[in-house]
Amino acid sequence: MKKNTVLVTGGLGFIGSNLIEFLIDKKIRVINVDKVSYSSNFYNVKDFIKSKYYKFYKIDIIKKNKFLKVLNKEKPSAVFNLAAETHVDRSIDSPHEFVTNNIIGVYNVLEAIRKYNVSNKNIKLIHISTDEVFGDVKKGRSDENYKYQPSSPYAASKASSDHLVSSYYRTYKLPVIITNCSNNYGPKQHPEKLIPKLIYNILNNKPLPIYGNGLNSREWIYVKDHCEALYKIFLDGKIGSFYNIGSNKNLNNIQVTKELLKIAKKAIKVGGKVRIKFIKDRPGHDKRYALNSKKIIKELNWKPKTNFNKGLKLTFAWYKDNKMYYKYLNKKDITQRLGKK
């Protein structure tokens, strides 16, 4: 086992690529395993693709034996599992992909690590999940003991994977840690998600689509703060534990949109077609997510450093200055309306 080597699945995606950049800055060698799906983007890794601390394998985690071969060859000390289908709207239109990747794929990762650990030093698995597994949190904040009540096929697939990972700790003593994070935003996020979708439309003089009445509330965390939390968990997190990672800052979609428009109007000339457009809500849309993150704050001395206004400014500036990012995407994946079924 190489203590200074870790493996990240889904490293061409949003959180994965930001995490790799964070780890490389810490002089940690990172093995990136990604199947290269519609949301994967090689532009995300352009700044470190030639680094001696970086290596890429095009592998789908559904292919257990291929994944095991990488473990045997690279001998990482930990696996950060970020390979997942993540867009709720897509899960409504095509739940099969979410069951396959988010449940069967995680099973294959677990089995590969279990087989590897029989004859090697134990690899630690850090499984990254979501606050959506808790469903609507109408009052207060959900801590690590809050009941799972997922609403969408996406949330259900992530809840299933969390339970599966936890069971491998209980049954096989596999060294695992599970994290549940709130809504991430920041550079390199696919524009199917709210904030990068709004930014794309602002930059291209298009209306700003908002589901329902726009009052759905989410807890927003800047992706770099999430990466720092994962790093602290990697170093000092307790095996078998769950950790919530959030900002304790909730905003509804109208508030997010208005804040973003203020930032955009100071940075560029905003076109006349850029205005809020309310559209039909998606089925089963949760009203509010809110995490209690006191555990990680107390145990690992972590707390988010980036307030929402600052993070949103950094995010808008990145997309404005990196328009080549969009050239690596299928335009249909940016503009297509999903979640209508």
Contact 152, 89 (CB under 8 A): no
Number of domains the chain is built from? 1
> If you average pLDDT over every residue of the chain, what do you get?
96
* Domain presence at residue 89: yes
Contact 187, 251 (CB under 8 A): no
pLDDT at 268 over 70: yes
Active site residue 131: yes
* Domain presence at residue 324: no
34, 132, 192, 286: which one is catalytic? 132
* Domain presence at residue 82: yes
131, 192, 225, 286: which one is catalytic? 131
What are the tens digits of pLDDT across the range 77-118?
Answer: 999 999 999 999 999 999 999 999 999 999 999 999 999 999
Contact 284, 151 (CB under 8 A): yes
Average pLDDT over residues 165-189: 98
Separation of alpha carbons 41 and 20, rounded Å: 14
Active site residue 192: no
Active site residue 97: no
54, 116, 146, 154: which one is catalytic? 154
pLDDT in the model for residue 339:
54
pLDDT in the model for residue 332:
78
pLDDT in the model for residue 120:
79
* Domain presence at residue 81: yes
* Domain presence at residue 258: no
The CATH number of whichever domain residue 174 belongs to comes to: 3.40.50.720
pLDDT at 233 over 70: yes
* Domain presence at residue 84: yes
pLDDT in the model for residue 143:
98
What are the tens digits of pLDDT across the range 36-69?
Answer: 999 999 999 999 999 999 999 999 999 999 999 9
Residue range(s) defining the domain that contains residue 95? 2-190+221-249+287-307
Q: Where does the pLDDT of residue 119 fall: very low under 50, low under 70, confident under 90, or very high at 90 and above?
A: confident
pLDDT in the model for residue 237:
98
* Domain presence at residue 28: yes
Separation of alpha carbons 122 and 229, rounded Å: 22
* Domain presence at residue 269: no
In percent, the amount of the chain with pLDDT more than 70 equals 97
* Prediction pTM value: 0.97
pLDDT in the model for residue 45:
98
pLDDT in the model for residue 2:
65
Identity of the amino acid at 122: N
| Residue carrying the six token digits 């294959």 | 108
pLDDT in the model for residue 1:
56
